[in-house]
Chain A
Amino acid sequence: MISEPFDEPPYTWPVLTEEFSSFLDECASLDLPVRSSKLQAAQVEKIDRAIARLKALKAGAVMDNVEDVANFLFHFQCLLRSVQSALCLWMSLKKQGYEEAWRHLVDAQEYVDVALKIKEVEGARYFKESLEARRRILFPPWNLYNSAGYSETIGYCSICKGTFGLCDHLEGGIYMGTMCRRVGAKFIEANHSALVENPHDRRCILTHRSDDSGRMQNLFTLEFEEKDAADNDNDDVAAVEESRPMKLRGILMTTVVLDFD
């Protein structure tokens, strides 16, 4: 086991990649549901410390204007964040935090997608497939998600901090080890909300729906919630009973900001 990765400069590239591979193997050894949550939680913290040091190395590469190295370190960072999210997935599942577990899975998938966008690596591709397998095996096969449409101001570029419309950076592009995003945009108005098969944010799931009697069913566990008093009152009205609409409860929008800096 590595005491603390990326903690003994000076580095050569072969030493860095070797240390990264060893640390990734160490993390992967805990990427199983039967592993101790205590050890997994400790590893999650260790990954945070490792990423802080990777970012310091990345800052050095940026100062030296070596974009290839900065992007490769960003690839390491995204892979570590993906594995970290996978460990969080198991911890959440074991304490029956199913919605939280789902969010961690989506985080892990989004991190590995960016890692693969930077560099196609067999191990990362295998890990992406492993995450997809977890989605199929551990969770219901969601086929509808919430998707919100809204308007907002243009905002600023996360790379150069200038007005986004005036610089040359592309939203979603990778520059010097960071991903460009539009930040600081101000919400103007909601446009629509739709149920879609292919959302941008797969965290926006439907978590509950009502059955014919109006009881709300948890779509993770399939357990029914106790009906509240207002619903019981409605049961007395036959006309309402006949035309009872299906109620859905879910996540409309999230404000998750992943670590792409």
Chain B
Amino acid sequence: MTISQIGRKQVQELEVKDLDAVSFENATHGITIMPANFRHPGERVVYHSAALSFYKIAKSKFDIAFLTEPKELLVQKSIDVFLPTLYLALPMLVENPALVQTLIETVVEFVKGTVARPDEANVHLSVVTNRSETPTAVQFDYKGSVEGLTVMQDALNKALDLDK
């Protein structure tokens, strides 16, 4: 182990992956806040601790709901901001393409309004949406600065264009 590094690293990563064998049939709202462990349905449901405050900001801007009523929160003691995974219903996106921009602006507002050092934090945000022709869902995982969230916005818009 070396102990020679000063300062902090900010990264910028966007990963896109297919999600098989995950059902979103209970996600009936435009945007659904998924549990932190939604890929493991047998487990006790737990949401990221940021999910509640994010929901409070977002609910006045678009149709958003939790998949189930949150009762247990996952706390991760990191300077990074762990946002909940959001499921975006494809019909809602097609009907309202500006939703992607509104969503990203809401994330930026949330981070700047609630984090003490927003410029130093990496934001972790995952967005899942489905594809019109197949039952497969696609997940976009972003990790990076709050300013870099436009990368996520561009990727979602591009996916939406391809799906038209």
Contact = CB atoms under 8 A, between A and B. Distances in A.
Interface stretch (A67-75, A94-102, A194-202, A237-245): A194-202
Interface in B23-62: 46, 49-50, 52-53, 56-57
Contacts of A188: 72
Interface in A135-168: 136, 140-144, 147-154, 164-165, 167-168
Given A165-B70, A219-B3, A246-B1, A253 B77 contact: yes
B53 A172 contact: yes
Contacts of B134: none
B117 interface: yes
Query: What range describes how many residues of A lie at the interface?
Result: 35 or more
A199 B113 CA distance: 19
A141 B80 CA distance: 20
Contacts of A170: 53, 56-57, 110, 113-114
B139 interface: no
Query: What range describes how many residues of B lie at the interface?
Result: 35 or more
Contacts of B96: none
B70 A154 contact: yes
A148 B9 contact: no
Contacts of B80: 198
Contact of A200 (B8, B71, B78): B78
A172 B72 contact: no
B56 A147 contact: no
Contact of A152 (B52, B73, B114): B73
A143 B3 contact: yes
Interface stretch (A7-15, A33-41, A110-118): A110-118
Contact of A171 (B2, B52, B122): B52
B116 interface: yes
Q: Which 4 residue pairs spanning A and B have beta carbons closest together?
A: A172-B114, A143-B5, A113-B116, A200-B77
B22 interface: no
Q: Is chain B's interface secondary structure helix, strand, loop, or mixed overall?
A: loop
A60 interface: no
B78 A198 contact: yes
Q: Which of A114, A154, A167 has the most CB of B within 10 A?
A: A154
A139 to B, nearest CB: 11
A116 to B, nearest CB: 8
B78 A147 contact: yes
Contacts of A169: 56
A149 B114 contact: no
Given A198-B122, A209-B1, A246-B1, A151 B74 contact: yes
A165 B65 CA distance: 12
Contacts of A136: 6
Contacts of B53: 170-173
Interface in B94-138: 110, 113-117, 120-122
A97 B3 CA distance: 21
B77 A147 contact: yes
